[in-house]
Amino acid sequence: MVDRRKTLSWLLRALALGASPVAHIDFALAGGAQQGRAQSDRREAPANAPADQGYGRDPNLLHPHITWPLTLSPEQKAAVARLADVFLPQIGPSPAASAVGVPEFVDEWISAPYPQQQADRSVILDGLVALERQAPGPINRLAPAQVEALVAKLQSSAVAGDRTAARFFSRFRNVCLVGYYTTLTGVAELGYVGYQPSATFAGPPPEVLARLGV
Amino acid sequence: MAAEPFDVIVVGSGAAGGTAAYALTRAGARVCLLEAGRSYDPQRETPMFERTAVAPLRDAGTPDKPFGFYDATVDGGWVLPEEPFATAPGTEFRWFRARMLGGRTNHWGRVALRYADHDLKAFSRDGFGADWPFNYGEFSPWYDQAERLVGVFGSNPGLPDQPDSPPGCLQPPPVPRSFERLIMAGGRRLGRPVVASHTAVITRPINGRQACFYATPCLRGCSIGANFQSPTVLLPSARATGRLTTITHAQAYEIELARDGKARGVHYLDRRTNAHHFVAGRAVLLGASAMESVRMLFNSRSTAFPDGIGAESGWLGRGIMDSTGSNVWGQFPQMEGLPPFNDDGVWLPHVYIPWWAWPEQRAGKLPFTRGYHLELYGGRLEPSADTFDFFDTVSPFSYGARLKQEAQRYYGSFVRLSQRGEMIAREYNRVQIDPVLRDAWGIPSLRFDVRWSEQELHQTAHAQQSMAEFIEAAGGKLVAPLPKDPAHAILPPGRIIHEVGGARSGADPRKSVTNSFGRIWGVPNLYVIDGAVFPSSAHKNPTLTIVAFTLRACDHIQREMRHG
């Protein structure tokens, strides 16, 4: 992809040694005219273009959005939702995973073009197929008790040393935990109350210091 | 708007180049600043209050953005397909780059410790590497200036490894956070110091910058300028003089010498168009980052300098260092299930553990001769993609109601201790120009040949043990047993992003590349001002020392220019 440029540019460099005056000056900082935001100042060459549909090395951080297509089929996504709701069920006011977008996050995660996510993709998709093989029918059509039984069986296999079951359990659970507890609902459930600008920082309250014994 | 001819060409806009632009424009010089990356405006671009919940992959690191979606790194990372580098067989090197205005000042840990006299004279102490060409007494006024410019909080506890700053240099440190207080209590039990960190975040307004408001992660950058970034702290002042011209997307690749042996100017190319340009100046300063400055010197070959400028002594490209780094995680039952409270603080370290084992080391009782310090991270951070990394260990195979209880129970109870230690400068640890590899613009690339010695491994074994002792003395449990072999604990060279050396400064032209002001021996108007000049690299983050060295060099340069 860069071969042509590579060879050309070194030749051009040799030619340029004859010294030319400053031809291109970016006035963004020298003068008053501010260049636009990240997007308008992006390099045009394709080197940084996310050919694999990743967000690239210079995404607009103030308008975050995913750049890759989601890949779970409706049936897979429904199965993920059923399982996620067993891992993180509704308990009183604490909502179930599917109520805070966990299935959508699992889809976002396993559809991403990056190595960690692609590794999780095979573990999770293969795991779904393996689970369904042990189920009395498609996961998304099982009765709640049947899905719970399926997860209980998965857990027993994992605890008993079935490595494939353990890996699926671990990765599926981790992606669900991240998907759940990074939402504002999840953050509140964990008791994270930061992000509050303040003129001073008082440190932990006395009751916490007492609990810590410091 | 400044016009040609320029007095000074500065390559790079980070800690070194930004400081040079600041100091020299204010002293009256017309400066042309070449930056390989794009323009970057932290005021407009920093995602200060954007939440993790709306970031792709919840801000998890990816090859595109290794420190997460919101990290203040533009066009950077560990692997840049258009900017490859080679490593010698059997070696590893990590090289983090950021192609943007301000370079890596936008993303750094902001620990800003002064070198002590024993750091500058480490060779005299143990015979490894080389001494710096000045002592602490000569250098400390530049640290004073650097601290006042950068804005550093900290305290002066009077420790041998941490020189006190004169009054008026440091800002008051914030009070410690919960997990920091636990480690402090552990330190008291062990009889080891845990003191205020020196961190480049301001807690009081200075120079028109607002003080920290104790919210939002510093590694995203700071739109209010409370932490130190070149584009918010250095470049606005330089710009206000009307004497700064900044050229972005400008990849400098060669210094041209005139017939009289002086640098005439710099060749660069526009990374977007491949167009080649030349800019002339009365002096040239290299602050492109240590490895890039060395690469430029190697790539500046001529009849007079067939192996590159500065290569005559044989030291160009040699003595490459990083900081040693390793981690130990602890889990603290006292921190489980605490009531909600805001423990964000300045986000970066409030306290740290300075190197304490001086007496033993001096007495020859340790199998390594250079020190380390420990940094602490953790506690009740905003839940993120790595919050549950240890759940397979602390709560294996739980699910359902129990999993939700465990998530609440364990959240905020993990603390990471991190070693940052001194690596000895070795002649054999070097970079060279790779015989075949070139970047996408055709510029010859670097080949790294850097390895740890027994010294660094012994130091890491000691640090791992010490971190475990701190965790246990503070009432915590290790999340995983320590690796038996320190080679499995130490991170690869380059990973701490403190890579320095390769154009070391010294008093003897036969054994160094630059003099004490960074001036290349034999080229009277060509200077290296970044980490390349480090003859040794204490366990302390190099940025503050780069700023101080550059301020000292620029003071010298402006006096030279005034006298013609």
DSSP A76-113: HHHHHHHHHHHHS--BTTBPPGGGGTHHHHHHHHHHS-
Q: Which sequence spans correspond to the domains of chain A?
A: 74-190
Q: Which chain A residues contact residue B215 at CB under 8 A?
A: 194-198
Cβ neighbours for B483, distance < 8 A, ≥ 6 positions apart: B464, B489
Flag if B215 and A198 touch (Cβ within 8 Å). Answer: yes
Q: What is the pLDDT of residues B399-419, one digit of tens each?
A: 999 999 999 999 999 999 999
Residue B239, chain A, CB below 8 Å: the answer is yes
B318 and B385 assigned to the same domain: no
Same structural domain for residues B339 and B475? yes
* Residue ranges making up the domain that contains B108: 1-75+102-144+229-323+424-429+497-564
Identify all chain B residues contacting A209, using CB atoms and an 8 Å cutoff.
Answer: 178, 181
Same domain, B249 and B162: no
Using 50, 70 and 90 to split pLDDT, how confident is the model at A44?
very low
Does residue B131 lie in a domain region? yes
Average pLDDT over residues A80-94: 98
Residue B191 lies in a domain: yes
3-class secondary-structure state, position A31? coil
pLDDT digits (tens, 9 = 90+) for B449-471: 999 999 999 999 999 999 999 99
- Residues B17 and B162 placed together within one structural domain of the fold: no
Nearest of B197, B219, B268, B88 to residue B420 by alpha carbon: B197
Contact at CB, A24 and B270, closer than 8 angstroms: yes
CATH number where B286 lies: 3.50.50.60
- The answer to whether the beta carbons of residues B209 and B151 sit under 8 Å apart is yes
CATH code for the domain in which residue B180 is found? 3.30.410
Of B62, B184, B399, the CB nearest to A54: B62
How much is the pLDDT for B563? 83
Residue B241 pLDDT > 60, yes or no?
yes
Any domain includes B438: no
Q: Does B390 touch chain A (CB under 8 A)?
A: no
Same domain, B29 and B44: yes
Dihedral pair phi/psi, residue A178, rounded to 5°: -65, -45
pLDDT at A52: 77
In a domain, B46, yes or no: yes
**What backbone torsions phi and psi does residue B325 show, to the nearest 5 degrees?**
-150, 135
Whether the CB of B387 is below 8 Å from some CB of chain A: the reply is yes
Which residue has tokens 């400064």? Answer: B505
B519 is a domain residue: yes
pLDDT digits (tens, 9 = 90+) for B295-314: 999 999 999 899 999 999 99
Collapsing DSSP to helix, strand or coil, A132 comes out as helix
Q: Are residues B191 and B304 in the same domain?
A: no
Specify whether B244 is located in the same domain as B376.
no
Which of A189, A199, A213, A203 shows the shortest CA–CA distance to B344? A203
Q: For residue B216, is it within any domain?
A: no
Tokens of A136: 């009395």
- Residues 6 or more apart whose Cβ sits within 8 Å of residue B298: B307, B308, B311, B316, B317, B432, B433, B444
Q: Are residues B186 and B42 in the same domain?
A: no
Return left, alpha or beta for B154; rule: phi > 0 is left, psi -120 to 50 is alpha, else beta.
left
Q: Which tokens hold the place of B179?
A: 């997990």
Chain A from 163 to 192: CB within 8 A of any B CB? 166, 169-170, 173-174, 177-179, 181-184, 186-187, 189-192
User: Does A13 lie at the interface with B, CB-CB under 8 angstroms?
Assistant: yes
Task: Please answer yes or no on whether A177 and B388 come within 8 Å at the CB atom.
Answer: yes
Total domains, chain B: 2
Distance CA B291, CA B405 (A): 49
Instruction: Note whether B44 and B127 are same-domain residues.
Output: yes
pLDDT tens, residue by residue, B106-161: 999 999 999 999 999 999 999 999 999 999 999 999 999 999 999 999 999 999 99
Could you give the angle at which helices B543-562 and B15-26 cross, rounded to 10 degrees? Answer: 30
Cα B406 to chain centroid, rounded = 37
Cβ neighbours of residue A87 closer than 8 Å, sequence gap 6 or more = A97, A151, A172, A173, A176, B399, B400, B403
Are B292 and B353 found together in one domain? no
Q: Which tokens belong to B34?
A: 């070449």
In terms of domains, do B243 and B302 share one? yes
Is the residue at B88 inside a domain?
Answer: no
- Quick check: is B53 in a domain? yes
Q: CA-CA distance, B224 to B447, in Å (whole number)? A: 39
Q: Which residues of chain B lie closer than 8 angstroms to A48, CB-CB? A: 75
pLDDT tens profile B48-98: 999 999 999 999 999 999 999 999 999 999 999 999 999 999 999 999 999
Let me know: does B168 contact B156? Beta carbons within 8 Å: no
pLDDT in tens, A46-82: 344 444 799 999 999 999 999 999 999 999 999 999 9
Same domain for B166 and B61: no
Question: ipTM, 2 decimals?
Answer: 0.96
What digits encode the pLDDT tens for the residues B493-542? 999 999 999 999 999 999 999 999 999 999 999 999 999 999 999 999 99
